[in-house]
Structure 1
Amino acid sequence: MSINDNILIKIRDMKESLTPVERLVAEYILENLEEIPHLSIKSLAQLTKTSDASVLRFCKTMGYTGYRSFIVSISASLGSMDEEQKHQYTDIQPGDDLSIIISNISRNNSKSIEDTLSVIDKNEIARAVKVLRECKRIVFFGIGASGLVGIDAEQKFSRINKMCHTYTDGHSQLTAATLLEKNDVAIFISNSGDTMEILDTLEIAKKNGATTIAITKYNKSELADKANIVLSISTPEVTIRSGAMGSRIAMLTVVDILFAGVASAEYKNVKKYLTKTHNILASKHRK
């Protein structure tokens, strides 16, 4: 179960990976939010030019046993959305005033975190924290901006004396995955979930018996399908102008949650490491 369950965000994120017929239903729902709670399954089928069976399949794809429970969830999500939440992500525009840029980027980042709480599964977080506590070694894999998230994760987990390393290019990732063992955890960071280098490395990690964790966008992807544990994020990258800003913030938040989960559970043991690392860094600051 997600932390702040919002079916509308799940539909938005899952839309592009649905079947063509299911996508017709998804698009109509997102474009006509206010009327959906009042529609019967037959009415929605007619308006989307599909069938009752297609609408029901869509509901099941989204995790519901029937149309009624789906509509109840839609109504709840609509009721919980205030005006701020209804605002769309805002892209970089030419000539924007600096105050507008500050407001838009801050809101986009906040919304990425809020939306991620609507799709990430608390039970999957618990599973991830458990295996991270029990493992011998943690290895992070990410390309580009996702690699930067891995570097941040390595810095955090190193502070509590966890053996870990990040690999950010294809060749080193393949080499590292080849040396993984059963007591190791491999964390794959990819917004799309379809990065070829990541998928190739995942196959090797799985063959070697490592536990695999994916941090990836909430949709149907090969990475999400094949990883042992999936930690979903939600953040539409508006266009190429905004790049990977939203997904990076969401992924960093997931890393922080995992780190805090492990550190809290093992606080008696890790407190001394946190104190030591804090003190050595503090001693380097100029007086």
Structure 2
Amino acid sequence: MIKKAVQQIMIGSVCKTEENTLNVLNSIKSAGYDSIELNGFMIKPTPFIVRVLTKAAGMPTGSAGKFDWKSLVKKSGLEVCSIHEDLGSIENDIDSVINEAHSFNTKNIVVTGMYRFAYNDKNEVKKLVQRLNKAGEELKKNDINLLYHNHNVEFVHFDNQQSEYLQNCPYSLLINETNEEYVNFEFDSYWACDAGVNPLDIIDILSSRMRCYHITDRGSRLSSASITPIIKNDSMELGCGNMNIASLIEKAKSCNTEAIILESHKNWIDKNPVKSLELSAKYLNSKI
């Protein structure tokens, strides 16, 4: 059975104490999720600048790094489907990453994209392919899978050149030139859609290499009269937006994806991430 999970970043703003964090995790479990996806920078103390940058990006981490996440996850009854780590941490201290994965009983480490990276430079992306293959090979020796998580930037055209659909872009190169024995994918359909790509096409291409699937809906929430006839798109609870979520879930199931992981950073109903994930769970539970 495919796992239903929540990305830890969703709950960062409401994890004020260990006691209230356990209540949040219990709410996730009660809503019907069986797993959580953790972030390396949220389960251990991190530099101040990291916390500032994540908050500025709309992803507050709260005080999470001070908590005993092993105990909290165990008490809640949730599993850990995967852990997000940056590639530099994997390369510089792979033993710690391996030990972390084993301690949380997960086999999936996810690279979450590269910070300040020239994705439109083909040579730089080719170097990234080599780094991913090397890191994935080392993790595989310890029975851990390396997955790559996309955003929208992987779908830019190299050197801003004209190109056919899904050609001459970083994501195609990452798929075609990484070694599938060592590198697979955690596909995020929201960011593909944001880049103007049909996410169903990407899932067809990835097929069994899509080990995990990040999901959120995309649309607009209007609470009062708009000044103009245009309103801003943002993430939405599942079934409340305009993405073909039902077909995406069915496609993910047909690929034997291990986990469908909910993630949205903001624009939550009533500005409450717990209410938001509970509403999305109702939709997700009806499809899985």
TM-score (norm 1): 0.29
Structure (1 or 2) with the greater helix fraction: 1
Structure (1 or 2) with the greater strand fraction: 2
| Larger Rg, first or second structure (1 or 2) | 1
